[in-house]
Chains A and B, each alone.
Chain A
Amino acid sequence: MLSRYRTKGRHSREGGNPEKNWIPGQARNDTHDMRHLVMGIAWLLLFTFYFSLSTVSAAADPPKRIISLAPNMTEVLFALGLGDRIVGVTSFCDYPPEAKKKPRIGGMSNPSLEAVVRLKPDIVVMTTDGNPKEFEERLKSMGIRTFVSTARRLSDLPEGVRDLGAALGVKKKADEFADNFEKALVKARARQSHSGAHRKKVLFIVWPDPLIVAGPDTVIDDALTLIGAENIASDAKTEYPKYSVEEVLRRSPDLIIIGRGMDSGDVKKVSAGLLRRLGSLPAVKQNRVFFVGDGLFRLGPRTLKGIAEISPLMDGQ
């Protein structure tokens, strides 16, 4: 349509006097085209106006009601000072203690859609590490904004937090958090290169019975690598494999680290049987079995504490 219009324009210029080329009907066509063009431009303007309006309002109005569908994201949100804007969390969100007082919307893999909608969130913060994709799609189809964190590895977190901060209107605080996190990682690495010595072989047990250990592509594996240790299960096929006790004996780790979750005080008792079976290992005989907190179980602000906790363990002989 546009090209036809142009041709016609050129034609009339060449023809000099437009009156001469005047044919009944063509004029009507001309105005017709004109009207379409005007309509098109008006439409475009309307759109631009609408979008500029919506982006402006979004920038001026950061999300006030936030729902977090992942424990680690809840911790990040609190760390960014957004605690009072959180209106809903999962039943796994137990840190910081204030998080326990927030309304619950169900589990991570099966949050209740109804509960989420009822809380009228401005944004729902999710993770690809545990939240179903269908849930995100359902929320989107109902016009609810989502922020999906794809950070799953140690080095992903700072960037993820920066993006989150931008989406939630706390860019400055998020940048600060990310910078500090990055600095802490560099420091942990530096410490390792000074301590020298040989790489310690480590087995990180997530749960002793059945034996579940931290495999490759996990935050724990990243942390071990960062502090210069070698994860003996890093060649496993899955992230948290059910591991063969035989293989632990064969690979003989220099030290064994057992993580304990928040509310599992009995992990020591549960590990007794496993440690008995591993009794012939030098690590067990020489008492190089350590229990640590759950800092490394979640990729969030406490991950640094988790690294600080295991880092000194590498210093012994």
Chain B
Amino acid sequence: MKTRFAALVIIFSAVVAVSLFLGPTPINPFLPDETSREILTSIRAPRIAVAVLMGMALGASGAVLQGILRNPLADPYILGISSGASLTAAIGIIGGVTVLGTFTIPAFAFAGAIITGGIVGIMGWKRGGLWPERLLLAGVGLSFLFSALLMLIMSISRDEGIRRAMLWIFGDLSMSDWERVPYGAVLVFGGIALSLWRAKALNALILGDEFAHSLGFAPQTERVLLFVSVGLMTAASVSLGGMIGFIGLLMPHIARFFTGSDNRLLVPASALGGGALLCVADLIARTALPPMELPAGIITAIIGAPYFLYLLRRKDVLSI
């Protein structure tokens, strides 16, 4: 298990390093000219940082969420958090709001995500606690409502905002800036730390509330803590660069094939795997058809899904 984890860390670092120097035009790390240095420090590096943060947030929050909802089909977007974020972001983009400069849209998205997370939490709250099924259904319901509102806004609004909003909804890393990295890092690493701290409780929760209780964990308190960590990570990720599919749903499963279901390993493994995958996807997105940039969210699924299906066929695992 330890060697596998070490291998994952090495792969992750290699991916980050490689994607820093590969691109539409590869950069020689030992002899960069002035333009290359500028491209490296103010375009590629922040972009990779954002991709890694988003991928980590999605991978880790997917793993945690599948645990607290006890559902292998749960992903951070199923709670409607991303639809809420897209809705507020689109309102910001189409309404042409620029109060906070380049920070406006991420701030809008973050607010939307947190508000939605809060509503889902309230909906899922009954008899002094959060209930997995209620959370799931509340999330799905809100998600439909917000998607519909989003489509409504897009179909009655003017042309140019829509194009920008569409890019954003499909996940767009091309405008990534150092400006967004610090707050993203705080939220994502904060969320991961919180879920790692409660990883043992999460293991117990998967086995059922009674079981968790008998092991000395307060199921409802743990669930709230873990739900908050998922909310923070998802909100951060959506506000960093829009919606990226696949990672939140399937990266935890891919990680599970390697580390098993122990969340103390699964959460960091999903995070590293998610970060590496999005990093590669973004590398392909900006390199495949230069100078055109493809949405990274499409590439994650194109390279991730076949690998997942292959693992599913090869590995003898029956449940999460």
Q: Which of B44, B158, B163, B291 has the most chain A CB atoms closer than 10 A to its own CB?
A: B291
Q: Please name all residues of chain A whose beta carbon is closer than 8 Å to the beta carbon of B156 when the two chains form the complex.
A: 237-238
Interface residues of B in 126-161 (CB under 8 A from A): 155-160
Q: Write out, one digit per residue, whether chain B residues 286-320 have a CB within 8 A of any chain A CB (1) or not (0).
A: 10001111000000000000000000000000000
Known: A114-B39, A134-B102. A129 touches B160 (CB 8 A): yes
B159 touches A112 (CB 8 A): no
Smallest Cβ-Cβ distance to B93: which chain A residue: A132
| CB under 8 Å from chain B, chain A span 109-141 | 109-115, 117-118, 120, 129-130, 132-135, 137-138, 141
Q: Which residues of A contact B160 (CB under 8 A)?
A: 109, 129-130
Q: Cβ of A132: which chain B residues have Cβ within 8 Å of it?
A: 164, 175
Question: Chain A's nearest CB lies how many Å from the CB of B241?
Answer: 12
Q: A91-B292, A137-B101 are in contact. List 20 more A-B contacts (CB 8 A).
A: A104-B292, A106-B292, A109-B164, A109-B167, A110-B167, A111-B291, A112-B291, A113-B43, A114-B23, A114-B24, A114-B44, A114-B291, A115-B24, A115-B290, A115-B291, A132-B175, A133-B98, A142-B38, A239-B158, A240-B159
Interface string of B88-102 (1 = CB under 8 A from A): 000000000010011
Question: Can you name the residue of chain A whose Cβ is closest to the Cβ of B36?
Answer: A118
For this complex, into which size category does the number of interface residues on chain A fall? 20 to 34
Pick the residue among A91, A105, A130, A138 that contacts B175 (CB under 8 A): A138
Q: How far is the CA of A109 from the CA of B93 in the complex (A)?
A: 13
- The CA of A305 and the CA of B42, in the complex, are separated in Å by 43
A residues less than 8 Å from B291 (CB atoms): 91, 104-106, 111-112, 114-115
Q: Which of B35, B98, B102, B155 contacts A117 (CB 8 A)?
A: B35
For window 63-87 of B, CB contacts with A under 8 Å fall at: none
How far apart are the CA atoms of A36 and B277 in the complex, in Å? 59
- A233 CB to closest chain B CB (Å) equals 14
> How many inter-chain contacts with C-beta < 8 Å in the A-B complex?
75
Closest 4 CB pairs of A and B: A115-B291, A112-B291, A106-B291, A109-B163
B residues whose Cβ falls under 8 Å from a Cβ of A? 23-25, 35, 38-39, 42-44, 98, 101-102, 155-160, 163-164, 167, 172, 174-175, 177, 286, 290-293
Contact A110 B157 (CB under 8 A): no
Q: Which listed residue (A135, A137, A238) contacts B158, Cβ 8 A?
A: A238
The answer, yes or no, to whether A107 is at the interface (CB within 8 Å) is yes
- Chain A residues with CB under 8 Å of B177's CB are 138
Residue of B nearest to A241 (CB): B156
Nearest-neighbor residue (CB-CB) of B178 within chain A: A141
Contacts A120-B35, A137-B101, A238-B159 known; A112 to B25 CB distance under 8 Å? Answer: no
* Cβ contact of B286, chosen from A107, A112, A238, cutoff 8 A: A112
Residue of B nearest to A104 (CB): B291
Q: How far is the CB of A212 from chain B (nearest CB, A)?
A: 10
Complex CA–CA separation, A19 to B253 (angstroms)? 90
Name the residue of chain B whose CB is nearest to the CB of A105: B291
What are the residues of chain A within 8 A of B167 when measuring CB–CB?
Answer: 109-110
What are 9 A-B pairs with beta-carbon distances under 8 A?
A106-B291, A111-B291, A112-B24, A114-B24, A114-B44, A117-B38, A130-B163, A133-B98, A138-B175
Q: Contact between A142 and B42 (Cβ–Cβ < 8 Å)?
A: yes
Question: What residues of chain A lie closer than 8 Å to B292, measured between beta carbons?
Answer: 91, 104, 106-107, 110, 112
